[in-house]
């Protein structure tokens, strides 16, 4: 355990002095808190956290180390990491490394030993803010200069971060069991648990770069298109919204998760807005309006779709009727959308869990059913055409 000093500075001027943790140096990002008691490996490797300094409200992190099975992507993506009391001992039969090893390997500047409860309350009162962590020599930098560096950084609103996290070239994951067909995933920051859940349901999964064009997509001729979770502001992702509008016009079945839900909302003509401090954790109650069932779900979002919670409305962009399918019960936020005249739906939360409860895996089955129905309808129309 080091006693080297580190400082965390919020853009409202609040300062916390603690110990250096992970890599040394300086990092600036949006400070957000995650209430997950477990699953730090999945949180850290979720590309949706790019650009964010993650504060863990659970005080003791690192106990189970890092293992080769649980990463959600190829690296740690958080811009910075805040832990009250990092575990000094790694104790788990699956662990091959410590959390500290990976934080250092990926150059993640962190801070420990600060009052994470006070910090979380500050974020909850003021809202998500830009923050900086300074350690090594930079911990001694003048406080005014530290604050100036924080406020000079861009805010999360307006940022398009997809290119930073997406694959550069397409990757194919074979289907398990009976093959349904090719599924095109637009990789905006996909997690490996999502790819697995889709491959397990018979899709040959094509993970495509975020820059994929509609001509490239049509050339692949997929049975369906999927938009992943990912970092950044959905309002800054115009090219992905336009691509999705082509997909909807082609009537290719569509499913989206998290960022994918926000982009479906925008493609249908709704707005998106920034939540005061977002939802990040693994025990968020969500109502499925269709069944009346309440699911406990995994969340990680700072933005949300602005659509009427009740009733069926016309898509402002002309894609027919739409309804909000799921509602977050803590604060009545849109947690899912369903189009009634084109084969498309999405959820704002994480049915793939990783980490989190598995209440919502039925959504992958719903998607599979929708794709199969669409294929049956197309082949029935074909044989009618031949008769």
Annotated binding-site ranges for L-glutamine? 48, 230, 232, 259, 262, 300, 302-303
Complex with ligand GLN: residue 222 or 302, whichever CB lies closer: 302
Is 184 a residue that touches ligand GLN (CB under 6 A)?
no
Determine which residue in the list 113, 230, 281, 336 makes contact with ligand GLN, applying CB under 6 A.
Answer: 230
Determine which residue in the list 98, 300, 315, 325 makes contact with ligand GLN, applying CB under 6 A.
Answer: 300
Is 301 a residue that touches ligand GLN (CB under 6 A)?
yes
91 three-class SS: coil
Q: What is the dihedral of CA 174, 179, 180, 183, to 10 degrees?
A: 10
Nearest-5° Cα angle at 76, 29 to 278:
45
> Which of 99-107, 114-122, 219-227, 230-238 is the region at the interface with ligand GLN (rule: CB under 6 A)?
230-238
Residue 352 among the catalytic residues: yes
Which of 70, 256, 65, 233 is closest to 154 using CA atoms? 233
> Which of 137-145, 241-249, 298-306, 332-340 is the region at the interface with ligand GLN (rule: CB under 6 A)?
298-306
Tell me the residue ranges of DSSP E strands in 153-307. 171-173, 181-186, 203-208, 224-227, 254-257, 271-288, 293-306
User: Residue 152, class by beta-carbon neighbours within 10 Å (0-12 exposed, 13-18 middle, 19+ buried)?
Assistant: exposed
Residue 188: CB minimum distance to ligand GLN, A: 7
> Which of 53-61, 62-70, 301-309, 370-378 is the region at the interface with ligand GLN (rule: CB under 6 A)?
301-309
Question: Does an H or E element contain 240, and which?
Answer: helix 238-249
Query: Which of these is catalytic: 206, 240, 301, 350?
Result: 350
Site string for ligand GLN, 245-264 (x = CB under 6 A): -------------xx-----
Residue 350 among the catalytic residues: yes
Site string for ligand GLN, 14-53 (x = CB under 6 A): ----------------------------------x-----
Q: What are the φ and ψ backbone dihedral angles of 149, each rounded to 5 degrees?
A: -65, -35
Are 82 and 53 in contact, with CB atoms under 8 Å apart? Answer: yes
Query: Which of these is catalytic: 26, 72, 206, 258?
Result: 258
Are 162 and 240 in contact, with CB atoms under 8 Å apart? Answer: yes
- In angstroms, rounded to a whole number, what is the distance separating the alpha carbons of residues 291 and 311? 15
Q: Which stretches of the chain bind ligand GLN, using CB under 6 A? A: 48, 229-232, 258-259, 300-303
């Amino acid at each position: 355990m080091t006693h080297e000093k580190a400082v965390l500075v919020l853009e409202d001027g609040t300062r916390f002095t603690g110990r250096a943790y992970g890599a040394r140096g300086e990092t600036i990002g949006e400070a957000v808190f995650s209430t997950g008691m477990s699953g730090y490996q999945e949180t850290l490797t979720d590309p949706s956290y790019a650009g964010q300094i993650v504060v863990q409200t659970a005080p003791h992190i690192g106990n189970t180390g890092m293992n080769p099975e649980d990463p959600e992507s190829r690296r740690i993506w958080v811009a910075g990491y805040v832990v009250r009391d990092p575990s000094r001992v790694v104790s788990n039969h699956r662990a091959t490394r410590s959390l500290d090893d990976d934080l250092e390997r990926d150059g993640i500047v962190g801070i420990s030993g600060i009052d994470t409860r006070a910090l979380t309350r500050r974020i909850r009162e003021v809202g998500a803010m830009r923050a900086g962590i300074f350690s090594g020599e930079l911990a001694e930098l003048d406080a005014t200069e530290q604050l100036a560096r924080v406020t000079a950084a861009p805010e999360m609103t307006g940022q398009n971060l997809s290119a930073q996290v997406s694959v550069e070239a397409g990757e194919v994951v074979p289907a398990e069991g009976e093959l349904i067909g090719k599924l095109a995933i637009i990789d905006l920051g996909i997690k490996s648990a999502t790819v697995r859940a889709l491959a397990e349901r018979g899709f040959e999964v094509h993970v495509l770069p975020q820059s994929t064009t509609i001509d490239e997509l049509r050339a692949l001729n997929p049975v369906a298109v999927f938009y992943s979770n990912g970092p950044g502001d959905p309002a800054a992702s115009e090219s992905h919204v336009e691509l999705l509008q082509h997909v909807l016009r082609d009537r290719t079945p569509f499913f989206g998760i998290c960022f994918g839900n926000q982009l479906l909302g925008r493609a249908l003509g709704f707005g998106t807005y920034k939540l005061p401090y977002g939802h990040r954790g693994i025990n968020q109650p969500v109502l499925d309006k269709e069944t009346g069932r309440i699911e406990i779900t995994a969340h990680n979002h700072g933005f949300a779709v602005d659509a009427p919670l009740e009733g069926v409305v016309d898509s402002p962009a002309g894609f027919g009727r739409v309804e909000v399918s799921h509602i977050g019960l803590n604060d009545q936020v849109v947690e899912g959308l369903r189009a009634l005249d084109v084969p498309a739906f999405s959820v704002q939360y994480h049915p793939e869990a990783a980490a989190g409860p598995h209440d919502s895996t039925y959504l992958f089955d719903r998607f599979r059913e929708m794709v199969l129905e669409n294929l049956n309808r197309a082949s029935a129309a074909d044989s009618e055409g031949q008769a």
